[in-house]
């Protein structure tokens, strides 16, 4: 029998214990946090989780970037001597300068254990054959997933540097049961299978574990992926380089992400005030990974917008961990205000995928002073039919959902860029 789910009180007692051990370890070993906290007169004791939230300052990405610029190349947020670190990663730099991130074997092992929870929640066992369709570069991406799957005893098939067609053949020929990739790339593989005449109906893929983009929790994106991959179910996950793996998808409620509170102390705040939001309200996720002592962040402003469940009772799946309805709803830094309407890229994606018929798209944001305007280029799917009608339909769907008229035009098949890592579909033009 599996162990019972810990209660809220047990979760929080464990978090407090881990947090105290973490904070103690940082002083005076970690130059960045020693300086930062001394500068604002914070003492290193933690009376309670509430005390921590009240007294300790946030950490922002901008601070870490500035620290790495001042102390190149790795910055001063290192708790141990440089020689203790074995893993190098860096962020993709989608929101400014890339951050370098180092881990020791201990910090890395701690992160890997969290990823193992993502796999087990998705039902992955040692009997599974797991294909990793990503490039194994310096982005943290699925590196940890790869090692977790090894640890779980899965047969792991790395496919760095391969073409999409070659990946599909490898996946079909070797009876892959689980695919790990971004939501965009799961769509792309489905599209290439059609182009190549490969029948995904004969694939043994039963689950597609997606991360790196909000798509995995958007119902229309899930539905589109699942229509291309018969018998496969999408399982979402989210994490980031600075904090590691954060959530897994609720086994009972598709599109709900649970924060792994065994590893993270989580807060949800109003971005403008920094004050906690009420349950059921949307806010920014703030995380303190509790066991990544070598490369810590305390109260990290993730920039991810989430909506915690209104009632913090046990979930139907049994866990008492924080539930985020709809997954990651967007980012504080990518919202565009168009004629007074807050437009989130994830909302546009959801509207497009629900309308159907779109293989790929690109959004151009033109800003003149404080005013922003959007325009959409749409690449019709092979089975989309009349292109003009499709553009009209998408325009109508956007108007219905957002109350905005947004110009939509179609472009030739294959003319828009495809993505293996995070998709970059939003472009800013002019000033």
Which range touches its own copies (CB under 8 A), out of 71-79, 226-234, 294-302, 405-413? 71-79
Contact 175, 288 (CB under 8 A): no
Could you tell me which of 86, 30, 27, 91 has the C-alpha nearest to residue 65?
91
Could you tell me which of 352, 95, 28, 366 has the C-alpha nearest to residue 241?
95
For its own copies, the closer CB: 67 or 284: 67
For its own copies, the closer CB: 57 or 137: 137
For residue 165 the two structure tokens come to: 């067609």
Near its own copies in 315-334, by CB under 8 A:
none
80 binds its own copies (CB under 8 A): no
Which range touches its own copies (CB under 8 A), out of 110-118, 154-162, 284-292, 333-341? 154-162
Maximal CA-CA distance, the chain: 66
Distances (CA, A) of 90 to 8, 53, 61, 124, 330: 34, 28, 13, 28, 22
For its own copies, the closer CB: 157 or 408: 157
Which range touches its own copies (CB under 8 A), out of 34-42, 150-158, 328-336, 353-361? 150-158
For its own copies, the closer CB: 81 or 370: 81
According to DSSP, the β-strands at 244-249 and 256-259 are antiparallel
Q: Which of 43, 174, 227, 388 is in the footprint of its own copies by CB under 8 A?
A: 174
Exposed (0-12), middle (13-18) or buried (19+): which is 166, by Cβ within 10 Å?
A: exposed
For its own copies, the closer CB: 135 or 364: 135
159 binds its own copies (CB under 8 A): yes
Q: Which of 175, 219, 403, 407 is in the footprint of its own copies by CB under 8 A?
A: 175
Which range touches its own copies (CB under 8 A), out of 173-181, 285-293, 306-314, 397-405? 173-181
For its own copies, the closer CB: 160 or 407: 160
**Shortest spacing between CB 85 and its own copies, in angstroms:** 5
The CA distance from 264 to 271, in Å, is 19
- In this structure, the number of other CB atoms found within 10 A of the CB of residue 120 comes to 15
The string over 128-148, giving b where at least 16 C-beta atoms fall within 10 Å of a residue's C-beta and e elsewhere, is bbbbbbbbeebbbbbbbbbbb
**Shortest spacing between CB 60 and its own copies, in angstroms:** 23
6 binds its own copies (CB under 8 A): no
- In this structure, the number of other CB atoms found within 10 A of the CB of residue 349 comes to 24
Non-local (6+) Cβ contacts of 411 within 8 A are 377, 378, 379
Q: What are phi and psi of 67, to 5 degrees?
A: -65, -40
For its own copies, the closer CB: 106 or 226: 106
**x/- contact string, 14-43, with its own copies (CB under 8 A)?**
------------------------------
127 binds its own copies (CB under 8 A): yes
Q: Which of 35, 38, 69, 88 is in the footprint of its own copies by CB under 8 A?
A: 88
For its own copies, the closer CB: 143 or 265: 143
For its own copies, the closer CB: 98 or 271: 98
Which range touches its own copies (CB under 8 A), out of 127-135, 233-241, 244-252, 256-264? 127-135
Which range touches its own copies (CB under 8 A), out of 50-58, 145-153, 210-218, 275-283? 145-153
Q: Which of 33, 115, 143, 361 is in the footprint of its own copies by CB under 8 A?
A: 143
- Residues of this chain that interact with its own copies (CB under 8 A) are 72-74, 82-88, 100, 102, 105, 126-127, 129, 135-138, 143, 149-150, 153-162, 170, 173-175, 420
């Amino acid at each position: 029998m599996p162990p019972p789910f810990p209660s809220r009180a047990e979760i929080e007692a464990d978090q407090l214990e881990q947090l105290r051990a973490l904070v103690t370890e940082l002083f005076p070993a970690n130059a960045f946090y020693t300086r930062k906290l001394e500068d604002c007169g914070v003492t290193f004791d933690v009376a309670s989780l509430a005390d921590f939230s009240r007294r300790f300052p946030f950490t922002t990405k901008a601070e870490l970037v500035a620290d790495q610029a001042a102390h190149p190349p790795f910055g001063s947020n290192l708790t141990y001597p440089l020689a203790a670190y074995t893993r190098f990663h860096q962020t993709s730099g989608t929101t400014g300068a890339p951050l370098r991130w180092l881990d020791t074997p201990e910090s890395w092992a701690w992160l890997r254990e969290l990823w193992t929870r993502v796999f087990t929640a998705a039902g992955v066992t040692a009997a599974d054959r797991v294909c990793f369709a990503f490039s194994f570069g310096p982005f943290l991406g699925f590196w940890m997933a790869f090692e977790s799957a090894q640890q779980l005893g899965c047969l792991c098939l790395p496919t760095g540097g391969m073409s999409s067609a070659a990946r599909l053949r490898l996946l079909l020929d070797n009876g892959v049961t689980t695919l790990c990739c971004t939501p965009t790339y799961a769509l792309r593989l489905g599209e290439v299978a059609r182009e190549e005449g490969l029948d995904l109906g004969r694939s043994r893929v039963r689950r597609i574990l997606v991360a790196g983009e909000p798509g995995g929790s958007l119902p229309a994106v899930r539905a589109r992926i699942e229509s291309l991959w018969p018998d496969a179910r999408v399982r979402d996950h989210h994490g980031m380089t600075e904090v590691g793996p954060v959530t897994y998808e609720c086994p009972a409620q598709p599109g709900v992400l649970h924060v792994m509170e065994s590893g993270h102390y989580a807060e949800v705040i109003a971005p403008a005030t920094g004050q906690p939001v009420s349950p059921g309200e949307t806010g920014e996720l703030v995380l303190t990974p509790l066991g990544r002592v070598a490369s810590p962040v305390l109260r990290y402003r993730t920039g991810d917008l989430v909506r915690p469940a209104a009632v913090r009772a046990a979930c139907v799946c049994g866990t008492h961990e924080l539930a985020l309805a709809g997954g990651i709803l967007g980012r504080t830094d990518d919202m565009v205000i168009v004629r007074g309407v807050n437009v989130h890229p994830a909302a546009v994606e959801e509207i497009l995928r629900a309308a159907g018929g779109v293989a790929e798209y690109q959004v151009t944001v033109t800003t003149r002073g404080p005013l922003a305007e959007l325009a959409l280029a749409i690449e019709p799917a092979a089975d989309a039919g009349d292109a003009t009608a499709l553009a009209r339909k998408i325009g109508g769907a956007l108007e219905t959902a957002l109350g905005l008229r947004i110009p939509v035009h179609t472009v030739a098949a294959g003319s828009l860029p495809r993505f293996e890592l995070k998709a970059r579909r939003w472009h800013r033009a002019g000033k």
